């Protein structure tokens, strides 16, 4: 029973991200001012 509790505790720690300091996400790419929009169709028109 004691081994099962230790195993569950270790699995819980591994699942919650207890592997070290959190890292910041990469910065977002700057906006370039280019916008793409439109419409595309494929097939037969009647």
Q: What is the pTM of this model?
A: 0.34
pLDDT of 1-46, one tens digit each? 889 988 888 887 777 665 667 788 888 878 788 888 899 888 887 7
- The alpha carbon torsion through 10, 13, 19, 21 (nearest 10 deg) reads -150
pLDDT in the model for residue 30: 80
HSE-up (13 A, CA, CB side) for residue 1? 0
pLDDT in the model for residue 19: 62
């Amino acid at each position: 029973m004691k081994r099962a509790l230790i195993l569950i505790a270790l699995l819980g720690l591994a699942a919650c991200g207890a592997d070290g300091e959190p890292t910041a996400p990469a910065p977002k790419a700057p906006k370039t001012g280019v916008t793409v929009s439109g419409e595309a169709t494929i097939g037969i028109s009647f």
